[in-house]
Chains A and B, each alone.
Chain A
Amino acid sequence: MVDLSALRSKNRLYYVLLAAGGLVALGGMYAVHMMESHGHIISGMNNQIVWGIPHVFAIFLIVAASGVLNVASIGSVFGKAVYKARAPLASLLSVAMLSGGLAVLMLDLGRPDRIMVAATNYNITSVFAWNIVLYSGMFSLVVIYLWTMMERRMNPFNKAAGLAVFVWRFVLTTGTGLIFAFLTARQAYGSALLPPMFIVLSFAWGLAVFHVVQRVIYAWNEKSLDPAIQQRTRNLLGVFVIGSLYMVATYHMTNLYFAHKSGFENFILVSGGIYPNLFWWGYIVLGNLLPLLLIYTPGLGKTKCVVAASSLVILGAFALLYVFIIGGQAYPLNIFPGYEVSSSFGDGQIASYQPSLYEFLLGFGGLAIAFIITTVSVRVLNFMPQDKPYIAD
């Protein structure tokens, strides 16, 4: 006998959740409307900090959208059954986060109404323009990939689609890293290390998001994850976190070695106020050390610990992106090397940035879009991982 009242209350909870997501998305729309009518003056961004909180959210979503596909790739490209069963959910999350991230990125433009211009006037030397192709291509490829998994007649194309997605997402994250890698003049950016760094970061962030969502879906359906699978994916997260820590450390080490970049590193790592705090406490301690402790300490590493570790990794991601994007712009551009400079335009000064509520509304609106796409899809289609009782690999 099914307990109907429990089912009903759960149904209600679902719609409440959906409404909450819708409300947050609506808040984002409101922020867009306000920024459209008043201009970016109501944001905290200015002529020194030209990219702010919306870009932190957008880049997190886009990088994580690429990284979460790792779960699918291990399944379809490397043939691991445990991961293959999770490929549909991973693909869904990818599409959802890509949509959210792109929405934030586009709606933050000064003239979002002109977005069609980006398609009709294409500049082949612009990495932004490449990314427009990369993002839309990724979107359609993942949808096709999902189709080959969920439609039996399309199954034969699954392997090919999986391979295409695998290649495409590497190129895509490279493109995201290149946005910064091509900025030669800025001390914070202009490093060939950035694309690989973003790729490894995407692995950790994507898997962390996957862990959290998977846990929620299992709990909702009152199922428990096979401990063996839990342990495997948990260990993978640990490896990815260590990998990303290594990349970030290498990036800062190389900067420290170049004399002309040591001033910037001193700012970001020691003297820059909020930025070193966010970096050491937010990213290193909360985003890396604590998760690693939760994952690898003997006796820990159960479901709750994995979810906690994953949430912390996500939190750390935001801290790192804030330091990287905003801290990188706050440090003054070195126009006259060897000179002390001052002007009415903030030359030689640390730029100040006070993010406004509207920016957060827009950023959370992007998260809400990803949330809505995920919850609705999980409800109407079967994205629940179907594990076989015996795992061969």
Chain B
Amino acid sequence: MSDLNPQRRSFLKTTLGAAAVAIAPGMLLIDMAHGKAEAASGKVRWGMLIDTAQCKEGCTDCVNACNKENGLSGGTKATDPQWIRKIAIKDVSTGRVQSLPMMCQHCEQPPCVDVCPTQASFKRADGIVLVDRHRCIGCRYCMMACPYKARSFVHEPLENQNPDVPRGKGTVEACNLCVGRIDNGQTTACAEACPNKAILFGDLNDMNSEIAIKIRSVASAQVRADLQLNTGIRYQGL
């Protein structure tokens, strides 16, 4: 074997080298300017405030925007992943009907992170709860543990994923708060798409941010607040 390797190497070197020399001139060099070099900050806590009074019944603009952004099929079979869904709720005692979007609540104490055997479920420094698909073994324990049924399992092989949102068969996934957009300084796709501006995205920790000011001034609630998970998604008018 010892005399095989150098041969193979030199062969590869010459062929590839020649090819590179032939093609390189005139080709664009790698642009090193863009990209974000610093890590997510622990001083920030990303979250959203959802005004249920502004959320129109039957409107699914946020769901469609999410599907487009993240390359989901938009199917609603029991085996299709849904990162965000519209829930219609009716108060049993008063009959009051409301409509609201439900997705990963990005808890401060996420049960999915507690139960994940491989630390594939994790909370980023800025409060976003994510699945590291490189580590996910597909045991689905997080789906059992999530109080919001926010997670989906990818049941089928996928093709032509969005290059910015890798996802694949055999792993669990959920709303990632459009983490790639956030790192780019943008807002989430659902907040951007809402025609009534019912979804307000921002930094809960920044006292001067719009979301923090609004949470201080209006009544808002966490879903299943009794579990004391301190969710990053808050609902107004619930």
Contacts and interface: CB of A to CB of B under 8 A. Distances in A.
Check whether chain A touches chain B (CB < 8 angstroms): yes
Interface of A: 38-41, 46-48, 50-51, 109-112, 114-115, 117-118, 121-123, 125-129, 132, 179, 182-186, 189, 329, 333, 335-347, 351-352
A126 B115 CA distance: 4
A324 to B, nearest CB: 13
A126 B116 contact: yes
Interface stretch (B8-16, B143-151, B185-193, B205-213): B143-151
Interface secondary structure of A, over-half rule: loop
Residue of B89, B144, B169 with most chain A CB atoms under a 10 A cut-off: B144
A347 B155 CA distance: 20
B90 A47 contact: no
Contact of B170 (A111, A339, A352): A111
Interface stretch (B19-27, B75-83, B176-184): B75-83
Interface in B55-99: 76-82, 85-93
Nearest to A125: B114
Contacts of B45: none
Contacts of A337: 224
A182 B145 contact: yes
A50 B153 contact: yes
B140 A50 contact: yes
Interface in B110-150: 111, 113-120, 135-141, 143-149
B117 A118 contact: yes
A188 B113 CA distance: 21
26 contacts: A39-B169, A39-B170, A40-B79, A47-B151, A50-B140, A50-B143, A51-B144, A109-B170, A110-B137, A114-B135, A115-B137, A123-B118, A125-B114, A128-B116, A128-B117, A182-B115, A185-B145, A185-B224, A335-B149, A339-B90, A339-B91, A340-B90, A342-B87, A344-B82, A345-B76, A347-B85
Given A347-B85, A351-B78, 7 more contacts: A38-B157, A46-B155, A128-B116, A338-B91, A339-B90, A345-B76, A345-B82
Contacts of B223: 335-336
A346 B149 CA distance: 10
Contact of A47 (B86, B91, B113, B152): B152
Interface residues of B, number: 54
A380 to B, nearest CB: 35
Nearest to B226: A337
Contacts of A41: 79, 155-156
A351 B152 CA distance: 15
A109 to B, nearest CB: 5
A114 B14 CA distance: 37
Contact of A183 (B92, B117, B144, B154): B144
A311 B156 CA distance: 38
B89 A114 contact: no
Contacts of B143: 47, 50
Contact of A347 (B87, B139, B146, B224): B87
Contacts of B93: 338
Given A39-B154, A39-B157, A185-B146, A341 B87 contact: yes
A110 B147 contact: no
B61 to A, nearest CB: 14
B78 A40 contact: no
Given A46-B79, A110-B172, A336-B223, A345 B144 contact: no
Contact of A184 (B137, B147, B152): B147
A382 to B, nearest CB: 39
Contacts of A342: 87-88
